Amino acid sequence: MVEVLETALVRGIKTQIFRLVVGMLFVLLYAVSAHAGDITSMRIGQGIGNVRVVFDAENKFNYKVFLLGEPRRLVVDTQNIDVDDRIEKDIEANSFISQVRVGTNGRIVFDLSKPVVVKKVFMLPPQSTFKWRFVIDLEVASEREFASKIGKNSALESGNYKTSSSSSEKMNPAQTKKSKKIVVLDPGHGGVDPGAIGVSGVYEKNITLAMAKELKELLEDEYGYKVYLTRSRDIFIPLRDRVKIARKYEADLFLSIHADSAYNRKAQGLSVYTLSEKASDKEAAALAEKENKADIVAGLNFAEHSKEVSDILLNLAQRETMNRSAEFATFMVQEMRKSTHTLDDTHRFAGFAVLKAPDVPSVLMELGYLSNKKEEKLLQQKSYRKKLAVSAGKAIKRYFENMQHASVF
């Protein structure tokens, strides 16, 4: 009888121990599975004018990345993953990000020390000793560029990110006031400066103004952009003042419109120019010199000094502006070729004064040659200018769409 009781007691104890061990294993496995999807750490690496933020994660996850102002912040909203709040301590010395905070519902907020734009956002799959990595590349920007990228409308997100109305954040007026893209169109010449004179006597200044008005109407009606003209009537405006107008309106894009002339009456074709310290060829150099001398026509000599040029080009070596100008020029060439004849080397480079805004992507378009009888006649036709405007409008639309995805500013 005693042996039976002892055996039963031993069995009971063993059963309790077994249940306890199973329970502990269950709790341990649950804890491991609960944190299997964590963002576990963060690294910050700074370069010249840029910074890269890298998150280490157990699994791939959904994300949305956007900027907020007043104060300047970078916000990362995550889905399908937990964020370890210990990453707040992973902030490394840099001149871009002053503080990191982990909020509720997978939100990570970075306090920014200076204006930036988001250049790239992407995930890297597991490789070698690394698990999933989520990368955000930031680049220093002007206040104007930063302001143009504020808000969720400019967010970069994964394709499977689910937007919830309850998680939307209210934007103050300062964050939403610039919802429309701003384009400044610059009709070349004007007033006492007629520009090129066609074979029949037509003035370039009249062609460029008519073209600018045509394009302005299309951009506003078709795409909803805010469009300003540097001149809306036949007046003379110094070249540097045209640049000032673009900057005053905080233009997202500046397009200067001209028509060409040449001794060779057979020369014909549209071309586009972006800024270069050295012209791409002799013809571009001669054209730039001719256009820039327009400053002296009204007795106002705005001839640039070498130091001024150096300073401006140094600012432009902020490369972003020149790179964006080149991207826009590429779209212009592609679209204009669909509607008109273009020069063989359609995208050219020259030192045009109107292209030297340090923070506004700028392109100069030569509509064609007024010294060519056929092109002069075409450029006087409203239907032909309309066709050119449609192609230019498509190029501008492609540019803004591309910048939104790429940055993007």
Q: What is the pLDDT of residues 200-214, one digit of tens each?
A: 999 999 999 999 999
Under the banding of pLDDT at 50, 70 and 90, the label for residue 355 is confident
List of domains in the chain = 38-174 (2.60.40.3500), 182-406 (3.40.630.40)
Q: How many CB atoms lie within 10 A of CB 227?
A: 24
Residue % of the chain over a pLDDT of 70: 74
Q: State yes or no: pLDDT of 379 exceeds 90.
A: yes
Q: State yes or no: pLDDT of 312 exceeds 80.
A: no
pLDDT tens digit sequence for 32-91: 444 445 888 898 988 888 889 999 998 888 899 999 988 899 999 998 888 888 888 777
Q: How much is the pLDDT for 244?
A: 87
d(CA 82, CA 36): 9
Query: Tokens 């940055």 — which residue?
Result: 407
- The candidate with the shortest Cα–Cα distance to 245, out of 236, 237, 235, is 237
Q: What angle do CA 389, 230, 288 make, to 5 degrees?
A: 80
d(CA 380, CA 378): 5
**Against a cut of 0.75, is the pTM above it?**
no
